[in-house]
Amino acid sequence: MSTPLIDPFLRPIDYLRVSVTDRCDFRCVYCMSENMTFLPKKELLTLEELDRMCSTFIGLGVQKLRITGGEPLVRRDIMTFFRAMSRHLDAGHLQELTLTTNGSQLERFADDLAAAGVRRINVSLDTMDDRKFADITRWGRLPQVLRGIDAARKAGLRIKINAVALKGFNEDELLPMTEWCAREDMDLTWIEVMPMGDIGNEDRLDQYWRLSDLRARLAEHYTLTDLAERTGGPARYVRIEQTGQKIGFITPLTHNFCESCNRVRLTCTGELFMCLGQEDNADLRAGLRNHPHDNAPLENAIREAIARKPKGHDFDYSRQTVDGRVSRHMSHTGG
């Protein structure tokens, strides 16, 4: 293994999130506009290029690989890529291969994912109400996702539900979703809505529900114990003593979680974003395609990018304006 990746603030970078497509079969209102223009196929990294890119990062010390999108499971032949990445698990160079999904394709792919070495997944699900689910996803259908979650559980995958906290939309589902996850032995993480991309008529300030308020409401019904668990990522966790389940809170706006950031994000076009909340990025596709038989230019480009990783982001709603907004959609960067 080459010298591992260390950013300017002495944080080891050992977690790579990779978007394999900007396409999705949903149009969630906080993620993308209803009439999206997707990238031409030639701009996307091929599955072989994604393999080489990810393998290079693993050679530089990345130990956790999360596959995202868009919806990663709508990418044609995506299981070829998962099976290719499993060789790094078998060799002991990669500790975890996982993905974030909307669940729509899990009924089809759960067994294949488990066979490729995936052991746990995140499923994005903001409501248990059929009508509200159709409204917020625009194109999605809740029964399809629930069947996918059942298939994943039967395949032995550990599931964490990710729910975006949206004021006036799913506030009344705080307790029902908590109870459902407890019954099904699934973890649950709540996420504050983030100011990313032009989503048309949706108002992020109207959507914004502070997780400090959400936690206070939860504490009215349960005993919450703070957990010391840290993954280098954004979530802070509590245990609900009555059920024993773990609840996470991702608060990019009310609590800056950047001090221990260990991750970078690679887009499906080969751009590396060193921070989710900053526009700065590095083009890794050129180094990949211009030097098909020499990995040194790609490694150098990765190291140069990590050397520019900022200390943190600038998301801020505290002045009732959407400060720190970034122009790209979440589906472009990767969930």
pLDDT band at 335; cut points 50, 70, 90? low
pLDDT band at 316; cut points 50, 70, 90? very low
Helix (H, G, I), strand (E, B) or coil at 305: helix
pLDDT score, position 318: 47
Q: Using one digit for the tens of pLDDT, what is the confidence trace for 90-104?
A: 999 999 999 999 999
pLDDT score, position 127: 97
**pLDDT higher for 195 or 263?**
263
pLDDT score, position 6: 96
- The answer to whether 99 and 158 are in contact (CB under 8 A) is no
* Token pair belonging to 102: 């909307």
User: Average pLDDT of 152-170?
Assistant: 96
Q: Using one digit for the tens of pLDDT, what is the confidence trace for 265-291?
A: 999 999 999 997 788 899 999 999 999
Residues 6 or more apart whose CB falls under 8 angstroms from that of 8 comprise: 307, 308, 309
Domain boundaries, the chain: 15-333
Q: Using one digit for the tens of pLDDT, what is the confidence trace for 190-205?
A: 998 866 444 444 455 5
As a whole number, the mean pLDDT across the chain is 89
User: Which candidate, 50, 25, 207, places its Cα nearest to that of 108?
Assistant: 25
- The answer to whether 114 and 136 are in contact (CB under 8 A) is no
**pLDDT higher for 206 or 60?**
60
The answer to whether domain 15-333 has CATH 3.20.20.70 is yes
User: Average pLDDT of 160-183?
Assistant: 96
| Alpha carbon distance 50, 79 (integer Å) | 13
* Token pair belonging to 165: 């906290």
pLDDT band at 1; cut points 50, 70, 90? low
DSSP 224-285: EEE-----SSSEEEEEETTT--EEEEE-TTTS--GGG--EEEE-TTSEEES-TT---EEE-H
* pTM of the predicted protein model: 0.89
User: Average pLDDT of 122-139?
Assistant: 96
pLDDT score, position 234: 74
Q: Using one digit for the tens of pLDDT, what is the confidence trace for 211-237?
A: 999 999 999 999 999 998 866 567 889
Q: Is 192 exposed, middle or buried (0-12, 13-18, 19+ CB in 10 A)?
A: buried
- The answer to whether 317 and 205 are in contact (CB under 8 A) is yes
DSSP 142-172: HHHHHHHHHHHHHTT-EEEEEEEEBTTTTGG
**pLDDT higher for 252 or 54?**
54
* Long-range contacts formed by 35-40: CB under 8 A, 24+ apart: 36/329, 36/331, 39/268, 39/269
User: Which candidate, 131, 222, 133, places its Cα nearest to that of 174?
Assistant: 222
pLDDT score, position 289: 96
- The answer to whether 284 and 18 are in contact (CB under 8 A) is no
| Alpha carbon distance 45, 284 (integer Å) | 10
DSSP 8-class letter at 92: T
H-type alpha helices, 15-138: 47-59, 78-91, 106-115, 130-137
User: Would you say residue 248 has pLDDT above 90?
Assistant: yes
Backbone phi, psi, residue 239, to 5°: -110, 135
- 334 φψ region: left (φ > 0), alpha (ψ -120 to 50), beta (else): left
